[in-house]
């Protein structure tokens, strides 16, 4: 499979259980997740982890992580100055195609609104 221009050999991916076990062992925060990023980067040349900083209705954001079984949502509820995002592993779930459709539409709406607002702000500042 190819994601983000990266060829991924699925047998080299961590299983969901291995991923969660590693995150529990190293602190259930972004620092722990960064170990996964480093591991994947060493193997694939890509961290294969994406931050989705928009609320899913339950959490302020989530990380999308590739595992052998598919795509795992690892949400966070807070951010610590030293440890980064504090992960909620009990709410980690596998994505389905419809879940991605919701996230895609939500991101598109958010980014279009933000771009429109910033363009208006720039226009106002230039006209002053």
pLDDT digits (tens, 9 = 90+) for 80-92: 787 889 999 999 9
Q: Is the pLDDT of residue 24 over 90?
A: yes
Comparing CA positions, the residue from 65, 75, 73 lying closest to residue 29 is 75
**In contact, 46 and 67? CB cutoff 8 Å:** no
114 and 90 assigned to the same domain: no
pLDDT band at 79 (very low <50, low <70, confident <90, very high): confident
87 and 100 assigned to the same domain: no
122 and 109 assigned to the same domain: yes
How many domains does the chain divide into?
2
| Choice among 12-21, 26-35, 54-63 with the minimum mean pLDDT | 54-63
38 and 9 assigned to the same domain: yes
Run of H or E residues at 45: none
Mean pLDDT score across all residues of the chain: 93
SS3 content of the chain, % helix, strand, coil (to 5): 50, 25, 25
30 and 41 assigned to the same domain: yes
Q: Is the pLDDT of residue 4 over 90?
A: no
83 and 106 assigned to the same domain: no
Where are the strands (E) in 35-125, listed by range?
Answer: 49-52, 61-67, 70-80, 84-87, 93-94
Q: What is the pTM of this model?
A: 0.86
27 and 43 assigned to the same domain: yes
* Tokens 């607002």 belong to residue: 117
Q: Is the pLDDT of residue 16 over 90?
A: yes
What percentage of the chain reaches a pLDDT higher than 70?
A: 100
123 and 85 assigned to the same domain: no
Range of the domain at 100: 96-128
Q: 3-state class of 72 per DSSP? A: strand
């Amino acid at each position: 499979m190819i994601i983000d221009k990266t060829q991924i050999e699925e047998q080299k991916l961590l299983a969901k259980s291995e991923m969660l076990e590693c995150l529990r062992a190293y602190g259930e925060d972004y620092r722990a997740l960064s170990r996964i990023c480093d591991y994947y980067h060493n193997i694939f040349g890509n961290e294969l982890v994406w931050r989705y900083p928009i609320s899913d209705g339950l959490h302020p954001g989530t990380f999308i992580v590739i595992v052998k079984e598919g795509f795992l949502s690892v949400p966070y509820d807070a951010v610590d100055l030293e440890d980064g995002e504090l992960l909620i592993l009990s709410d980690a779930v596998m994505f389905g195609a419809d879940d991605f459709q919701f996230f895609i539409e939500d991101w598109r709406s958010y980014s279009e609104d933000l771009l429109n607002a910033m363009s208006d702000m720039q226009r106002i500042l230039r006209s002053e």
